Structure 1
Amino acid sequence: MYENIFNIDFYRLVAQMLPLRRRRAQFMHWLFCLVEPIVQLHQQFMQFRDRTNYKLAHTPQVFSIENVLNDAFDRVQRRIFIEDGEFTFPVYFYDRTENKPVFFFDRADNEPVRFYDRKALGQLGVDFTIVLPNGLVISDAEMIRLQALVDFYKLPDKTYTVTYG
């Protein structure tokens, strides 16, 4: 919508705004030289606009992050994908309202068995894994760029790892 509003040909605009009696080649070229910084600023603005629209078009959804990573690192074959992370489900012992202590012993070792609490469950795994193809060689600088892209698009509370597979 309204894409044509940004398509400005400054050279044509200068030529149209100039009176007919002043339209000589030397004078026109001199005006084109004066307009050149504005043309360069307009090109920088258009590049910024394209980058910003690209960022706004992508969301934290899995398919969108996959598209961003494939656009950046594997444009032709698009082999980068995202898998779900592992999640450890808590073991139900009793209802909290019962307020009863629970003891589980390993009969072989005669020691109490440790179970996970809510805080430990959150630290066990990652929310998703980014799987890079084996043939894709990424340098350390590109890995930092990959992590920066994922950190930009992912939700703040999500954790991830990057693996080859």
Structure 2
Amino acid sequence: MWYNIDFYIWAVNLLVIRLRKPKMIAFVKSLVTPIVNIHYDFLQKKAIDEFILNHNGQVCYLRKALNDVFDNELRRIRIGSGNQYNRQYIYTRAEQKPVYLGKIYIRDKSAFADTGIDYIVYVPKKILASRELELIKWIEIFNEAGTAYKIIGE
């Protein structure tokens, strides 16, 4: 493509042939080095932008993108549904409903179906402890508008 340029070779080729001595070539390369650094930063940013554009907020693409960035070899990051548990209510005597509740488990308030959590990202604890802010940043990049998520360490 047009952006794949070797600035060192380009600068040396622009020199007059009789000036292409080792000292002059080294001098010209030192002058071109800042442009080469900017070009390298451009290529890195372009690669990240292409990665983001090739993925979206669908579950399969989000899982693939997170595994590519954080757990490329073992691919242990999973995405589950946010609607997990139905609530159990305790009724008053005036409502005349059964009092027997059976087994009740204490759960976080975001684990129930009506809390607005659309999906849960299951991440290994080691990755969550070391790169949590980066993980949140990548999820926010791919998160669709109006959807809420929760990160759980496994």
TM-score w.r.t. the length of structure 1 is 0.70
CA distance in 2, matches of 1:47, 1:53: 10
Structure 1 outlier segments of 4+, above 3 Å: 138-141
Stretches of structure 2 lacking an aligned partner (at least 5 in a row): 98-111
> How far 1:144 moved relative to its partner?
2.5
The unaligned stretches of length 5 or more in structure 1 are: 90-105, 114-120
Aligned to 2:26: 29
Q: Work out whether 1:110 is the aligned partner of 2:94.
A: yes
1:46 aligned counterpart, secondary structure: helix
SS of alignment partner, residue 152 of structure 2: strand
What is the aligned partner in structure 2 of residue 61 from structure 1?
Answer: 58
CA-CA distance at 1:42 after TM superposition? 0.8
Give the TM-score normalised by structure 2: 0.75
Corresponding residue SS for 1:127: strand
In structure 2, the residue matched to 1:128 is 119
Cα deviation digits, residues 61-120 of structure 1 (max 9, x gap): 11111112112221111011111221799xxxxxxxxxxxxxxxx7x822388xxxxxxx
SS class of match (1:5) = coil
Instruction: Report % sequence identity.
Output: 27
Matched residue, 2:150: 161
**RMSD in angstroms over aligned alpha carbons?**
2.7
Equivalent-residue separation in structure 1 for 2:96 and 2:118 (angstroms) = 30
Larger Rg: 1
The one-letter amino acid paired with 2:93 is D
**Number of equivalenced pairs:** 136
